[in-house]
């Protein structure tokens, strides 16, 4: 590709990524005292106060739980999808993608009507003579919302990776004496790891930063990072603190992801043996 | 080798295979003896790979039986059959290095790591890849990947090695070298080979027995010399080496008409006036003085082939003969064609 062809993308990158990033860093590292803007670490000192550390930890744990559940549901789903052929496969893919065409807010709101005190589940329980349960505004509801919204981000990359595995590799493993288990754990799973890495990334990142899901399904009871940042910007109006929290969470994500990629590339070199 | 039933390591009996409505194999019967090099030879799409996959356990015959050492293996999955396959496109595991690829079968079978180490090293040496243990398979050349695939299969000491066009992706020079190496390896290790190729030269050069296939049927099974010298039908004759193949009519025993005249031959046992195929090898044609010949023609084209010249001769009846001779006749020369009666091969027309 000619260099000049890359200019529009560079311009895009500059306007929508680099400049905002610089602005965030600028706000995060400055504070106003006596009407003058000056460099200061104050915002970060505050971000590391226990109250906010708890919020970050909680976000991390919930996002991790959602990612793990997405993986446990998504891998088998992708596997089944990859082995299907023809019309059945298209139908399944279609069913998987249809909810994604719906607005994100709408999709999440729909769970309200299912989970709420007079929602579908509780009415069913009531009809069966069972006590009603508090399903909404719990951490479980938040994780459920994350899984529901981000599951297809797990399934699709794994499905793609699995589909790319040459059938002759599986036959070669069988030929060399491998039964179903060995074929899966020594050949199929290692070769699908790139898809798993993408899937985990694509679920974990939106899960750890989402504020719509905890606001709607968590009822804003337990604040998560996303809600905290949203609050600072939109309600409290403290852009500087909001920026500092964003920078911290960005740092955590970078560390978490690089640890994850390091483990993955070890396995890629035959670490499974 | 002696005809001995106990000797049949692999046997296919009346094997048919269809995929849905597509018939791919029709009544394949074939056996492979211990230590034999058997080649399935035929044009692309004739069913060679399918036959090999049935032996390997990757396809199940629609009808018929397959047995190893006299015991049916119809219901045995690939991993329980004591044969290993060298796949057409190698099928090396990209997530493993050379050593791990070769060690795969031994690991699955739970061998001790000292034993694995020793066997894999020895096998890599045999295929001239010592020192390549840690290389990723994708960094190897086609020829080297081929060797890894062979080592990966052989290290399991299979009773038979199945090879599907193993040299198909290599260039001509490397292919010739590997033909010799593979044959040497097979003799040295005393392993049975079932080999698939569409290259008749390769088949003739390497095999003890060749099974010529076409359209999902075996046309002829025999030693390379027999297949070459006594092709059973026009397809085999045309596929193995070059041939002049003409339609003719068998007048009576030892008398056949073709090319506008009637000739003596050594074949018998046909119906009176049965339509037949007449096959004459290019090297069996003598060029003589046109005045003395019953078939006359003109040299259209001459190619030097190294040992001999290959000439196209336009006969008066329009058939273009291929003639090989160490003496060249110039383009445009009028020549006569003569063939000794015992070099005229008369064959039944294939039905249909
Ligand atoms: N799984 C399959 N489904 C349908 N047709 C197949 C399948 N495998 C092979 N065939 C068909 O069977 C025929 C023989 O194929 P193959 O055994 O691969 O031939 P060869 O190895 O001699 O080139 C081909 O016409 C091919 O299209
Ligand atoms: Mg083939």
Of the listed ranges A88-102, B78-92, B129-143, the least confidently predicted one is A88-102
B47 lines ligand 1 (CB under 6 A): yes
Residues from A contacting B (CB-CB < 8 Å) are 166, 168-169, 171-179, 182, 186-187, 190-191, 268, 270, 273
In this structure, the strands spanning B160-164 and B83-86 are: parallel
Q: What tokens appear for B34 in the block?
A: 């211990």
- Let me know if residue A167 belongs to a domain: yes
Number of domains in chain A: 2
What superfamily does domain B242-348 belong to in CATH?
A: Nucleic acid-binding proteins (2.40.50.140)
pLDDT tens-digit profile of A246-263? 999 999 889 988 888 887
Q: Mean of the pLDDT values across residues B9-21?
A: 97
- Rounded to whole angstroms, the Cα distance separating B276 from B278 reads 6
- High-pLDDT (> 90) share of chain B, %: 88
DSSP for chain A reads: --GGGGHHHHHHHIIIIIHHHHHHHHHHTEEEETTEEEE-SHHHHHHTSHHHHHHHHHHHHHHHHHHHHHHHHHHHHHHHHHH--HHHHHHHHHHHHGGGGS-HHHHHHHHHHHHSTTSHHHHHHHHTTPPP---SSSHHHHHHHHHHHHHHHHHHHHHHHHHTS-HHHHHHHHHTT--HHHIIIIIIHHHHHHHHHHHHHHHHHHHHH-SHHHHHHSTTSS--HHHHHHIIIIII--HHHHHHHHHHHHHHHHHHHHHHHHHHHHIIIIIT-
Restricting to B residues 59-118, those with a Cβ less than 8 Å away from any Cβ of A are: 77-79, 84-85, 87-89, 91-97, 100, 104-105, 107-109
- Rounded to whole angstroms, the Cα distance separating B191 from B205 reads 17
pLDDT tens-digit profile of B199-214? 999 999 999 999 999 9
Give Cα B292 distance to the centre of its chain: 40
pLDDT tens-digit profile of A139-190? 999 999 999 999 999 999 999 999 999 999 999 999 999 999 999 999 999 9
Q: What is the largest CA-CA distance in chain A?
A: 78
Query: Do A1 and A101 have their domain in common?
Result: no
- Rounded to whole angstroms, the Cα distance separating B87 from A176 reads 12
- Let me know if residue A217 belongs to a domain: yes
Q: Domain residues of chain B, as ranges?
A: 5-234, 242-348
Q: What tokens appear for A180 in the block?
A: 């179903």
Query: Do A169 and A59 have their domain in common?
Result: yes
pLDDT greater than 50 at residue B33: yes
Query: Do A93 and A150 have their domain in common?
Result: yes
* CA end-to-end distance (rounded Å), chain B: 36
pLDDT greater than 60 at residue B233: yes
- Rounded to whole angstroms, the Cα distance separating A196 from A155 reads 9
Q: Which residues of A touch B77 (CB under 8 A)?
A: 174
Secondary structure percentages of chain B, helix, strand, coil, to 5: 30, 35, 35
Give me the pLDDT at residue B122, please: 96
B79 with A178: Cβ contact below 8 A: yes
B335, B313 Cβ separation under 8 angstroms = yes
pLDDT greater than 50 at residue B264: yes
A220, A212 Cβ separation under 8 angstroms = no
- Rounded to whole angstroms, the Cα distance separating B247 from B260 reads 11
Of the listed ranges A39-48, A218-227, A235-244, the least confidently predicted one is A218-227
DSSP for B5-44 reads: GGGEEEEEEEEEEEETTEEEEEEEEEEEETT-EEEEE--T
Query: Do A195 and A221 have their domain in common?
Result: yes
B41 lines ligand 1 (CB under 6 A): no
State the pLDDT confidence band at A117, using cuts at 50, 70 and 90: confident
Query: Do A80 and A3 have their domain in common?
Result: no
Residue nearest to atom 14 of ligand 1 (CA): B47
pLDDT tens-digit profile of A79-98? 999 988 888 888 888 888 88
Task: Name the 3-class secondary structure at B63.
Answer: strand
pLDDT greater than 60 at residue B294: yes
Give me the pLDDT at residue B5, please: 55
pLDDT tens-digit profile of A188-239? 999 999 999 999 999 999 999 999 999 999 887 778 999 999 999 999 999 9
- Rounded to whole angstroms, the Cα distance separating B308 from B329 reads 12
B149, B91 Cβ separation under 8 angstroms = yes
Buried b (16+ CB within 10 A) or exposed e, B313-334: bebeeebebbbbbeebbeeeee
pLDDT greater than 80 at residue A58: yes
Edge-first strand order for the sheet with B255-258 is: B261-264, B255-258, B244-252, B274-280, B345-348
What global pTM score does this model have?
A: 0.83
Query: Do A34 and A150 have their domain in common?
Result: no
In this structure, the strands spanning B160-164 and B192-197 are: parallel
ipTM over 0.95? The verdict is: no
In this structure, the strands spanning B63-68 and B71-72 are: antiparallel
Q: What tokens appear for A131 in the block?
A: 């006590």
Residue reference for tokens 């020369």: B333
- Please compute, for residue A17, the number of CA atoms within 13 A of its CA located in the half-sphere on the CB side: 6
**For B80, which residue in chain A has the nearest alpha carbon?**
A177
Give me the pLDDT at residue B241, please: 84
Of the listed ranges A25-29, A73-77, A110-114, the least confidently predicted one is A110-114
What CATH class is the domain B5-234?
alpha beta
Query: Do A152 and A169 have their domain in common?
Result: yes
| Closest approach of B76 to chain A, Cα-based (Å) | 12
Give me the pLDDT at residue A273, please: 31
- Let me know if residue A89 belongs to a domain: yes
Of B114, B122, B97, residue with least CA distance to A273: B97
B127, B152 Cβ separation under 8 angstroms = no
Q: Which residues of B touch A174 (CB under 8 A)?
A: 57-58, 77-79
Q: What residues make up the domain containing A1?
A: 1-40
B107, B116 Cβ separation under 8 angstroms = yes
- Let me know if residue A17 belongs to a domain: yes
Task: Report chain B's mean pLDDT, rounded to a whole number.
Answer: 93
pLDDT tens-digit profile of B158-180? 999 999 999 988 888 889 999 99
Q: What tokens appear for B281 in the block?
A: 């090898």
Of A175, A217, A200, residue with least CA distance to A253: A200
State the pLDDT confidence band at B147, using cuts at 50, 70 and 90: very high
Run of H or E residues at B322 = strand B320-325
Give me the pLDDT at residue B301, please: 93
- Rounded to whole angstroms, the Cα distance separating A65 from A146 reads 9
pLDDT tens-digit profile of A64-76? 999 999 999 999 9
pLDDT greater than 90 at residue A132: no
**More confident site: B21 or A117:** B21
Of the listed ranges A125-134, A202-211, B66-75, the least confidently predicted one is A125-134
- Let me know if residue A186 belongs to a domain: yes
Query: Do A154 and A254 have their domain in common?
Result: yes
Give me the pLDDT at residue A88, please: 86
Q: What tokens appear for B270 in the block?
A: 């046909």
Q: What tokens appear for A27 in the block?
A: 């706000």
CA dihedral (A230, A231, A234, A238) in degrees, to 10, reads: -110
Give me the pLDDT at residue A270, please: 37
Vertex B320 angle, CA B319 and B325, to 5°:
135
pLDDT greater than 50 at residue B352: no
Query: Do A2 and A96 have their domain in common?
Result: no
B199 DSSP 8-state letter? -
Q: Which atom of ligand 1 has the smallest separation from the CA of B46?
A: 22
Please count the other Cβ atoms lying within 10 Å of the Cβ belonging to residue A252.
Answer: 15
pLDDT greater than 80 at residue A32: yes
For B64: left if phi > 0, alpha if psi spans -120 to 50, otherwise beta; the answer is left
Any idea what the CATH number is for the domain that residue A245 is in? 1.10.3720.10
Q: What is the largest CA-CA distance in chain B?
A: 80
| Closest approach of B176 to chain A, Cα-based (Å) | 26
Give me the pLDDT at residue A272, please: 34
Interhelix angle A239-266/A189-209, rounded to 10 degrees, is: 170
């Amino acid at each position: 590709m000619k260099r000049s062809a890359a200019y529009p993308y560079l311009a895009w990158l500059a306007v929508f990524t680099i400049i905002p990033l610089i602005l965030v860093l600028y706000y995060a590292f400055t504070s106003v005292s006596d009407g003058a803007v000056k460099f200061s670490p104050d915002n970060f000192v505050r971000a590391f106060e226990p109250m906010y550390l708890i919020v970050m930890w909680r976000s991390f744990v919930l996002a991790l739980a959602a990612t793990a559940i997405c993986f446990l549901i998504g891998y088998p789903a992708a596997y089944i999808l990859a082995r299907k052929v023809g019309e059945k496969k298209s139908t399944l893919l279609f069913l998987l993608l249809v909810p994604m065409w719906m607005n994100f807010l709408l999709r999440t709101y729909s769970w309200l009507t299912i989970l709420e005190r007079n929602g579908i589940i509780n009415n069913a329980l009531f009809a069966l003579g069972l006590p009603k349960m508090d399903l909404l505004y719990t951490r479980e509801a938040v994780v459920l919302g994350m899984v529901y919204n981000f599951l297809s981000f797990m399934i699709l990359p794994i499905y793609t990776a699995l589909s790319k595995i040459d059938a002759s590799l599986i036959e070669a493993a069988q030929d060399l004496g491998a039964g179903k288990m060995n074929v899966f754990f020594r050949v199929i799973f290692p070769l699908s790891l790139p898809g798993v890495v993408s899937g985990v990334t694509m679920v974990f990142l939106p899960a750890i930063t989402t504020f719509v899901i905890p606001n709607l399904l968590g009822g804003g009871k337990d604040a998560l990072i996303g809600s905290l940042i949203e609050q600072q910007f939109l309600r409290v109006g403290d852009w500087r603190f909001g920026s500092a929290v964003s920078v911290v969470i960005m740092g955590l994500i970078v560390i978490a992801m690089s640890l994850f990629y390091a483990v993955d590339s070890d396995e890629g070199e035959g670490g499974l043996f | 080798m002696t005809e001995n039933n106990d000797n049949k390591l692999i046997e296919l009996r009346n094997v048919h295979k269809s995929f849905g409505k597509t018939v791919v194999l029709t009544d394949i019967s074939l056996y492979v003896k211990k230590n034999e090099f058997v080649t399935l030879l035929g044009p692309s799409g004739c069913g060679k790979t399918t036959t090999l996959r049935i032996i390997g356990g990757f396809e199940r015959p629609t009808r018929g039986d397959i047995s190893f050492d006299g015991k049916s293996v119809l219901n045995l999955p690939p991993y329980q059959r004591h044969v290993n396959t060298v796949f057409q496109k190698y099928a090396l595991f990209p997530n493993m290095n050379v050593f791990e690829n070769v060690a795969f079968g031994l690991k699955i079978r739970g061998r001790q790591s000292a034993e694995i180490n020793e066997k894999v090293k020895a096998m890599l040496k045999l295929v001239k890849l010592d020192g390549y243990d840690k290389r990723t398979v994708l960094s190897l050349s086609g020829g080297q990947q081929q060797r890894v695939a062979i080592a990966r299969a052989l290290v399991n000491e299979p009773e038979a090695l199945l090879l599907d066009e193993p040299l198909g992706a290599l260039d001509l020079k490397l292919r010739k070298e590997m033909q010799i190496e593979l044959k040497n390896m097979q003799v040295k290790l005393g392993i049975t080979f079932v080999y698939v190729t569409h290259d008749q030269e390769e088949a003739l050069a390497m095999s003890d027995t060749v099974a010529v296939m076409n359209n999902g049927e075996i046309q002829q099974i025999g030693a390379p010399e027999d297949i070459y010298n006594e092709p059973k039908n026009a397809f085999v004759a045309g596929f193995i080496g070059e041939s002049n193949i003409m339609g003719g009519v068998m007048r009576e025993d030892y008398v056949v008409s073709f090319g506008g005249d009637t000739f003596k031959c050594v074949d018998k046992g046909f119906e009176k006036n049965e339509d037949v195929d007449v096959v004459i090898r290019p090297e069996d044609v003598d060029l003589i003085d046109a005045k003395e010949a019953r078939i006359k023609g003109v040299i259209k084209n001459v190619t030097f082939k190294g040992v001999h010249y290959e000439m196209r001769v336009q006969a008066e009846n329009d058939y273009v003969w291929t003639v090989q001779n160490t003496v060249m006749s110039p383009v445009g020369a009028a020549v006569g064609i003569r063939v000794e009666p015992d070099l005229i091969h008369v064959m039944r027309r294939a039905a249909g």
